[in-house]
Chains A and B, each alone.
Chain A
Amino acid sequence: MDLKTIIPRTEIWLKRAGRVNRNTRRLWRRLALFLAVVGPGFITSNVDNDAGGISTYSVVGAKYGYALLWSLIPMTIALYVTEEMCARLGVVTGKGLSDLIREEFGFRPTFFVMVTGFLVDLGNVVAEFVGVAAAMEIFHVNKLIAVPIAAIAVWILVLRGTYRQVEKIFLVACLFYVAYIVSAVLARPDWLLAAKSVVVPHMQFNAPYLLMLTALVGTTIAPWQFFYLQAGFVEKRVGPRQYPQARADVLVGSVSCMIIVFFIIVCTAATLYISGHRNIADAKDAALALVPLAGRWAGLLFAFGLLNASLFAASILPLSTAHVICEGLGFEGGVDYKFREAPIFYWLYTILIAVGAGVVLIPGESYIKILVFSQVANGIWLPIVLIFIVLLANRRDLMGEYANTKSFSAIAWATSVAMIVLTIVLVVAALFPSKFGGVPGL
């Protein structure tokens, strides 16, 4: 007698046992959980200070010195107001943002959000690999070597790495953001002036200044971080009772994000701005220019910070994007599925990394076009996602006593409208660079 007759459907059980193995939990879930342990708010903000962000902050410091530092406080508030709503949605409903959009607004809006989101994130991934290329060039490694190695490393880390390894690497990556604080200290800034600039608003009414301000806000608030943040709270199984802690975490995250921004701006302001190197294009220029001004270590640390941030975001972004899309549209997704079982998930993931890294390798500066395109897609995406978030958080039938109060709703709408206007300005500037002198940091 063979096994099959003794235990009917043995082979089915065996086959399924492989997938349902509860100890090899989905990497994404565990990652989200890890973010949860450290604090989803904290990590999300760290990921948010990615290559694109760092470039913009360096340019801001080099071009205007401390003059734009005052915008950090309103930005922290905007970041907090919007992220807090996501945290609340996640905590109260126990569902991810894409799930909620799907259930409350239907298939087509979800599809639209997911497709545009994919394009935006693709642009972001390109920016991360541009960051990798730039940072490695400072260490005298050609991008033709650095970028493919980085792409493969990210690929292997996520698809083949065990959760423990990934966790350790990410934790270390988080710590490396300290590099910017050290660089800033090495740059010997005028701390008193910097502190004063944070609290005293300084407004100039000319186009380049306003555009710079817009770019600063635009790069700090990225829609995908909302999906990410909410997933973190959902996976952490934070219930309404722990909502105060969740809110505190979001606050810490928003503030710590701005602290890093502060140090980057201060670093380039104290060196490049003061010495007159005011027209740098990106973070790489900043790092190179730092060497003669603040010493070799400041420059190398700056470049290292850029590399770290780029790799960190490049590891998380494609994975989370593929997951959010699959979840929202109801496809199988996760690294513990075989390719055959979750083809859409793997294709999305592959395209994001392969195209993201591939574009950077094309000779010339064709990736700039992709970045512009991504900025435009972001300009369409952010308003929609923000409106969905506010609408969801306003709903009493969904949120009960945790729904937005009238006054909070007003603040949320005001913040969202302000961010939407700024983003649209950026889109216009990105589309017509000749008229507006292009988008700083792009």
Chain B
Amino acid sequence: MLHATEMLGASAYDVQGNFVGRVRELFIEPAEQASRVARYLLGRGKFQPLVAKYDQVASVAPGTMRLNVSEKALEEYHSNEAWLAVQKDLLDQQIIDTEGRKVVRVNDLDLTEHRVNGSVELRVSLADVGLTGAVGRLLQGVAPPSLIRRIQEKLPTHMIRWEFVNLIEPDPLRRIKLRVSHQKLAHLHPADLADILEALSSEERQSIIDSLDEESAAETLAELDVRLRRQIVEKLDPEKAADIIEEMQPDQAADLLATLPADTSKEVLAEMPQHEASDVRKLMKFDENTAGGMMNTQFVLVGEAATREEVIEWIRHIEHDPEQLDAVFLNDTDAKFAGVVPMGRLLLASAGETMASIRSEPVLSLPPDASEKDVFELFDKYNLRVLAVIDENGSIIGTITVDDVVTRLAAKV
């Protein structure tokens, strides 16, 4: 095992044992192989720098590198955007640790040696983000490598396996050339991803949101603080923004659009499908601090006379987000709100029981202009999970769930 910093500055000798130059940079070509050091930049003072390929290396040790060819066989250096430079692009830069789910800074890289057909390949195995790398960097060139290693052995290590390293490259063209994908990020919990985004600069954030699929982007945006959310959406083009916002719950979408400048939110709404856009527009009319401003317009509504079996069958066939399904809401025959059946009760009821017989008592609801405080008090008093919002005719127009309440309360803590 070698450290990248032990290779940088190493003296390179050709097959005859002549000094060629010093290793100034290590390049990985992610398009070909994700972890292999594919090329070594050899600086030769005032002469044109040369490049040694991975199959031209006979052996490596801290501070020295021997080639299996003569100097003449080496190519001249021309910079290449598709090469990932260890010193310039990795050391001291931020990366995302997709397993530890946070942003960290690279102090050093651990390289392992692989013998392939008589040459030695170096492959990046770990990113050192802890004290060992820091001490190594500090003492590099000041103390002999063996001493540095002895000190490092006594220190606690903090390493990230290379497979779990996600690079942050704001330039989209370079990202394609380097094969940087944010696939791994899409698998993180949106709240974790939001934390990661908060630790990055705005350009980097934008690049990650850009590359996520709409659903992940929507979930992540919903977790970000308002200021960041607004900043990100403002910078997206309206079409992409509309695609993302479509994926959000209508209440979240309305909250988000309400924070944008009027022109931007108009543009975004125009790009959204008619039906979703009108839902969101309706929600945006309500004052943010009222029940109307808190409510969501996506909920499952069934007749109070329906049986458990019918309801379950119905739920299976409609489009909804099962994560958000806390309860079903009831209508009577006049299309007026008639109560709530929590999922738990529905689950345990027998097949033929009607919704009216298992609904929660008392039947509670609020008008859309009720204040935020009324909502909190009702949730607190009756230990609610969900609450219906009804219009002047008594018809249900939206629902408030406990997570909406928690979000509002948390903002006040």
Contacts and interface: CB of A to CB of B under 8 A. Distances in A.
A94 B105 contact: no
Contacts of A20: 101, 191-192, 195
Contacts of A107: 91-92, 107, 134, 137-138
Interface in B148-199: 191-192, 194-195
Contacts of B104: 330
A93 B201 CA distance: 7
Interface residues of B, number: 28
Nearest to A112: B138
Main secondary structure of the interface of A (DSSP, over half): helix
B223 A22 contact: yes
A190 interface: no
A97 to B, nearest CB: 13
Interface string A153-170: 000000000101000000
A106 B107 CA distance: 10
B413 A94 contact: no
- Per DSSP, chain B at the interface is helix
B248 interface: no
B202 A237 contact: yes
Given A23-B413, A107-B137, A237-B202, A330 B129 contact: yes
B93 interface: yes
Nearest to A100: B201
Interface in A411-433: none
A108 interface: yes
B227 A103 contact: no
Contacts of B138: 107-108, 111
B125 to A, nearest CB: 19
B228 to A, nearest CB: 6
Nearest to A110: B92
A94 B201 contact: yes
Nearest to B103: A330
A102 interface: yes
Contacts of A106: 91-92
29 contacts: A16-B101, A20-B192, A20-B195, A22-B194, A94-B201, A94-B202, A94-B204, A95-B201, A99-B94, A102-B105, A106-B92, A107-B91, A107-B107, A107-B137, A108-B137, A108-B138, A110-B92, A111-B134, A111-B137, A111-B138, A162-B413, A164-B413, A234-B201, A237-B228, A239-B231, A329-B134, A330-B104, A330-B105, A330-B129
Question: Closest 7 A-B residue pairs measured CB to CB?
Answer: A94-B201, A330-B105, A107-B137, A94-B202, A23-B410, A237-B227, A95-B201
Given A22-B194, A111-B138, A330-B105, 14 more contacts: A20-B192, A23-B410, A23-B413, A94-B201, A94-B202, A99-B94, A103-B93, A106-B92, A107-B91, A164-B413, A239-B202, A239-B231, A330-B107, A331-B131
